[in-house]
Amino acid sequence: VRHGSGGLPVVHHSGYVCDLPPKHRFPMGKFPRVLHFLIKDQVITEKQVWVPQIASKDLLSCVHTEEYLNNFINGKVNEQEQRRTGFSWGTLLAAEVALQRGLACSTAGGTHHAFPSFGSGFCLLNDLAVAAKYLMGNSSPKRKVLIVDLDVHQGDGTAFIFKEETCVFTFSVHCGKNFPLRKQQSDLDISVEDGMEDKDYLSTEAHLPWLLETFRPDLVLYDAGVDPHWEDELGRLRLTDQLYQRDLYVMKTVVSRGVPVAAVIGGGYSRDIDKLALRHSIVHRAA
């Protein structure tokens, strides 16, 4: 890990984008625009940008099956599997930097619907799970990782992957009637109703201090999805830009206890890419 600027480390790679069919639902162009606005608005400088390496097959295999990885890497994912996924990498680097610096953010990540042997919900590979499993396994004793998932959709893939792993605690606050239709069981699920607004939503975060005290993680991975926002096309909740207060609360609560936190941007859906990118940049501004 390099020694550069003393400011907030932000992980970004130009390879976060790839070509999708015209009018595809996933807003692929948001990733570079997040970085654009962070630099344009002088939230960070270019010296604070860390560039991750491409994830190796060996790294990914700590979560995903060999057959799925072979098909994925060799472009043999069949049409049915492609439809299931709907179509990032840097979460591990953000987590590694957070362990050294206390706090780091990525301009992508949060692909929490991917399962070991298949992708789902625009998620091909589960970055949160790979980062957690790798960092849990490369220390002795094993690191304990708390995954705080505030994307509007339940992190079903992550919950499934860690359902029997005592060193990882999965905490999800999500819209109960939203995707995925069939939920998995996280260690703590908070299911909220359609149309919930800021005040009621923010009250769900009261669980976090208790989790930090009882589970005592060595690292927190924070999925700061902005799809609970009232303008999100797939969200069904009514949150405003008070998402800033949500993100600030999560990161302050964790860091004040001396626990490192790595944040990823999670879900967010809008045809107005610039407006969406600015919304995703809320977590970096809070950090």
pTM: predicted TM-score of the whole model, two decimal places:
0.89
| Predicted pLDDT of residue 26 | 64
Please determine, for residue 24, whether its predicted confidence score (pLDDT) is greater than 90: no
pLDDT at 204: 81
Range name among 50-59, 233-242, 252-261 with the lowest pLDDT average:
50-59
Tens digits of residue pLDDT in 133-183? 999 988 888 999 999 999 999 999 999 999 999 999 999 999 988 988 899
* pLDDT range class, residue 104, cuts 50, 70, 90: very high
Greater pLDDT, 80 or 282:
282
- For residue range 113-129, what is the model confidence (pLDDT) as tens digits? 999 988 888 788 899 99
pLDDT at 23 over 80: no
What pLDDT is stored for residue 85 in this prediction?
36
Cα 271–273–274 angle (5° rounding)? 140
pLDDT for position 55? 82
Q: State residue 84's pLDDT score.
A: 39
pLDDT (0 to 100) of residue 140: 83
pLDDT at 28 (0 to 100): 65
Q: Given this model, what pLDDT does residue 157 score? A: 96
Q: Which of 49-63, 73-87, 211-225 has the lowest mean pLDDT?
A: 73-87
Mean pLDDT taken over the chain: 88
- How many alpha carbons lie under 13 Å from residue 217 in its C-beta half-sphere? 30
Q: What is the pLDDT of residues 213-227, one digit of tens each?
A: 999 999 999 999 999
pLDDT of residue 72: 76
pLDDT of residue 78: 55
- The pLDDT of residue 22 is 64
- Assign 76 a pLDDT band (cuts: 50, 70, 90): low
pLDDT-based confidence at residue 82 (cuts at 50, 70, 90): very low
Looking at domain 10-286, its CATH class is alpha beta
